[in-house]
Amino acid sequence: MSPSGLSTRRQLTPLEPIVRAIENARSLDAVAKPVAKTVRTLLSGGRIKDAVSGTWLGHAVHPMLTDVVIGSFTSATLLDLLGGEELGAASERLIAVGIAAYGPTALTGVNDWADAEPANDAVRRAGLVHATSNALGLALYTASLVTRRRGSRGKGVLLGSVGWSVLGLGAYLGGHLTLNRGIGPDQTVFDPGSSDWLPAADAGQLSPGRPTRVVVGDTPVMLLKDGESVYAIHDRCSHRGCSLSDGELDGREIVCICHGSRFDLRDGSVKRGPATAAQPAFQVRDRDGVIEVRRLSPVSA
Ligand code: FES
């Protein structure tokens, strides 16, 4: 306790020491870095990348698929533990559903992780343990199903129960990565920009065709002068937060330097993933040589 009476240490939640140990384990990088690099290479750009990222859906696909896997395996184990032997066939079918859903779930998850890990050591390491726990859970449930079908229900139930516990650690780390480390949410969600007109820059500051980053209120905004027009969209890429003003201009689209997402400068819409959410876009006006912006409301279809 400090002389002021303020505590110098925060009390940790029960699982925090485990998560911290994982996130500080540098030894995991030797495996995680090359794996992530390979994933990025195999899934770089194109329709498959957009499909697994959720560009077509409007947010990541992975969280929806995890519900199927975890839901199926959990339901099977609950039937095992709470139901009788007569529910064994239902339990086996649920395990089979979980196994079938595992592949696409893992693919979408590893894609999301590979895009996020270069900028964050903790994400890289926790993601590797998350994936490893889930793979072990899958192996145990698969062994459980095989064992049951060979006539040893008791051993199969035991294997499924152990698989469920291992899957629990994986699920916890998945929640941690999303909710505590911010992997997946639209990176502009907490500061979409003001709906009031605010000064952004002097008009003379802008060079034609050169993206310029300014801060309006607390919001980073990218301005681009194109002939007589000035475009303005949120500067923080909705995908993983890179600055769009560092990106490349291609006609009326800006290409993010980090993973190649393309956004339309006129309305912030996503033209190519892996981004899933549009950039907040701004109306622009010139008031006596001062460029002012205000947030453009999304247009409903
Ligand atoms: S941060 Fe990934 S595309 Fe922009």
Let me know whether 165 and 229 are in one domain: no
Q: What is the mean pLDDT of residues 173-180?
A: 96
Let me know whether 169 and 285 are in one domain: no
Determine the structural domain holding residue 39 and report its residue range: 16-180
Q: How far apart are alpha carbons 149 and 163 in whole angstroms?
A: 17
> What is the pLDDT, as a whole number, of residue 301?
42
Q: Burial, 200: exposed, middle or buried (Cβ in 10 Å; 0-12, 13-18, 19+)?
A: buried
Count up the domains in the chain and report the number: 2
231-264: pLDDT as tens digits = 999 999 999 999 999 999 999 999 999 999 999 9
> What is the pLDDT, as a whole number, of residue 7?
76
Locus of tokens 């595992």: 102
Let me know whether 88 and 208 are in one domain: no
Is 11 contained in some domain?
no
Is 50 contained in some domain?
yes
Let me know whether 124 and 242 are in one domain: no
- Axis crossing angle, helix 121-149 with helix 153-175, rounded to the nearest 10: 160
Residue 224 has pLDDT above 60, yes or no: yes
> What is the pLDDT, as a whole number, of residue 3?
63
Total count of residues recorded for the chain:
301
Amino acid at 251: G
The minimum-distance atom of ligand 1 relative to the CA of 115 is 2
Return the structure tokens found at 266.
């006129």
**Is 62 close to ligand 1, i.e. is its CB under 6 Å away?**
no
Q: How far apart are alpha carbons 22 and 100 in whole angstroms?
A: 29
261-289: pLDDT as tens digits = 999 999 999 999 999 999 999 999 999 99
Is 254 contained in some domain?
yes
**Is 239 close to ligand 1, i.e. is its CB under 6 Å away?**
yes
**Is 234 close to ligand 1, i.e. is its CB under 6 Å away?**
no
The minimum-distance atom of ligand 1 relative to the CA of 275 is 3
Let me know whether 287 and 261 are in one domain: yes
Torsions phi, psi of 24, nearest 5? -95, 0
Residue 45 has pLDDT above 90, yes or no: no
Q: How far is the CA of 273 from the centre of ligand 1 (A)?
A: 8
Q: What is the pTM of this model?
A: 0.90
